[in-house]
Amino acid sequence: MTSFRDGTDVVESAFSMSKTALLFAGQGAQTVGMGKDLAEKEPVARDLFARANDALGYDLASLCHQGPESELTRTENAQPGIYLVSWIAFQLLRQRVPELQFGATAGLSLGEYTALAAAGAIEFEDGLKVTRLRGRFMQEACDVTRGGMAAILNLDEDKTREVCQEAGVELANLNCPGQLVISGELDAINKACELAKARGAKRAVPLAVAGAYHSKLMASAQPKLAVELANIPIAPPTIPVVANVTARPHDDPTSIKDVLVHQVCAPVRWEASVRWLLAQGFTRFIELGPGKALNGFLKRIAPEAQGLNIADVPSLESTVAALKGS
């Protein structure tokens, strides 16, 4: 039995022979309407949206449900919004399938905060507030730099690193085979895209983002985030939480804070994180939060693994049915 800091338990179940890991969505998954149908149907979701509004002092629920998109996509709103909807999905999973045993968590960049909360390392409200501030600090860094990102498709990592070095950009996300993301100054990103296509990339696509995330251009956000994290109690996780920076679990509270600060400028080693989980015998992965990007990555990394998700009412019902039927 796994006990959580709020006193609830996830009970080991004889019916589940698969080792299950929970995956939490990252920035970019936000969409107007996220969580709306869950709040309309599920009292737990309504209560959590209300708690979030009270904790933050503004109507995050309305932004998630109604937009406008221009406001929801602002980093300081998107990050707590995704964190909140992901947490709601997690709570509904626990409520609907209380017998489910899960043995590890991981989250894509921002999602690492939800992964830590799900493992009992941080409290829900603390995670909500710090992701709001993290988003604000990163937006401030975007506002004083001229940065961007691009997806490089079907070019191997070694060649992509050569392109990065030549163009003066950084490798920001190693998502899955065939999909890497680069980050840096806009002019350098454009140069890197041309170089990547010349080296054989199927596509090199600039992304519609506010700045150069997971690069040195985010450095001004790090000391501000460090101050906020110093004020948040962090406990050792009750189960492994795989860190983006190392692609290995971290369990020391001081180290967790240091890694979260480092993460702002460091590459997201998502493929390596999933492969670590696979090597530990995990065969079922449940993505929690808006979108299905992590399931898409999983199909490219380990097509034999079972991928489920909870983002809305239909996906909640289908995932519960799949788990109950296993």
Sheet holding 104-107, edge to edge: 241-242, 104-107, 19-24, 282-288, 306-310
Q: In this predicted structure, what is the pLDDT of residue 4?
A: 37
Place of tokens 């020391």: 252
Averaged pLDDT, groups of 10, the chain, 326 residues long: 39 53 94 97 98 97 95 93 98 97 97 98 97 97 94 96 97 96 97 96 91 96 98 96 97 94 98 98 98 97 98 98 87
Active-site position among 65, 183, 214, 215: 214
- pLDDT in the model for residue 17: 52
- Domain at 2-143+220-324, CATH from 1.10.600.10, 3.90.1150.10, 3.40.50.300, 3.40.366.10: 3.40.366.10
Question: How far is residue 43's CA from residue 213's CA, in Å, rounded to a whole number?
Answer: 35
**Annotation: CATH topology of 147-206:** Alpha-Beta Plaits (3.30.70)
Angle made by CA atoms 55, 60, 63, in degrees to the nearest 5? 175
Taking residue 168's Cβ as centre, other Cβ atoms within 10 Å add up to: 13
H or E element at residue 152: strand 147-153
> What is the length of the chain?
326
For residue 206, the tally of other CB atoms under 10 A from its CB is: 15
Residue range(s) in the chain whose domain bears CATH number 3.40.366.10: 2-143+220-324
Model-level pTM? 0.93
Contacts of 197 (CB under 8 A, 6+ apart): 203, 204
Give the β-pairing of 241-242 and 104-107. parallel
Cα(263)–Cα(246) distance, integer angstroms: 10
Q: How many helices (H) and strands (E) does the chain have?
A: 14, 11
Residues of the chain with CATH 3.30.70.250: 147-206
Question: Catalytic one among 109, 183, 215, 273?
Answer: 109
What pLDDT is attached to residue 124?
97
Cis peptide before 249 (omega within 30 of 0): no
Cα–Cα–Cα angle for 304, 27, 129, rounded to 5 degrees:
125
The pLDDT value given to residue 182: 98
- How far apart are alpha carbons 295 and 201 in whole angstroms? 23
Q: Which two tokens stand for residue 20?
A: 């299950």
Please indicate whether residue 214 is annotated as part of the active site.
yes
At 326 the pLDDT is 58
